[in-house]
Amino acid sequence: MTAMAQPHLGERTQIRFHAPQAVVDALATYAERRGLPVSRAVADLLSETAGRPDLVLHGEPMFDFAEVIPSVAHESEGTGTLAIRVPKELVPVLDEFAAEAALRRPDVVASLLAHRVGLGHLMPERSQLLMTG
Neighbours of 115 (CB within 10 A): 17
The per-residue DSSP string of 58-119 comes to SS-----GGGTHHHHHHH--SEEEEEEEEEGGGHHHHHHHHHHHT--HHHHHHHHHHHHTT-
In a domain, 130, yes or no: no
What's the pLDDT score for residue 66? 72
Q: How much is the pLDDT for 132?
A: 46
Q: Is residue 25 part of a domain?
A: yes
Instruction: Please tell me the predicted confidence (pLDDT) of residue 9.
Output: 66
Supply the pLDDT for residue 5.
44
pLDDT of residue 106: 97
In this structure, is residue 6 part of a structural domain? Answer: no
For residue 2, the model assigns a pLDDT of 45
Q: Look at residue 19 and tell me if it is in a domain.
A: yes
Residue 131's Cβ-side half-sphere holds a number of Cα atoms within 13 Å equal to 19
Per-residue pLDDT of the chain (133 residues; tens, 9 = 90+): 444 445 566 899 999 999 999 999 999 998 998 889 999 999 999 999 999 999 998 877 666 677 666 666 656 678 999 999 999 999 999 999 999 999 999 999 999 999 999 888 888 876 555 554 4
Residue 107 lies in a domain: yes
Q: How many domains does the chain have?
A: 1
Residue 133, pLDDT score? 43
Q: Is residue 7 part of a domain?
A: no
Domain that residue 89 falls in: 12-125
Q: Find out whether 8 and 71 touch, Cβ atoms under 8 Å.
A: no
For residue 131, tell me if it sits in a domain: no
Residue 1 falls inside a structural domain: no
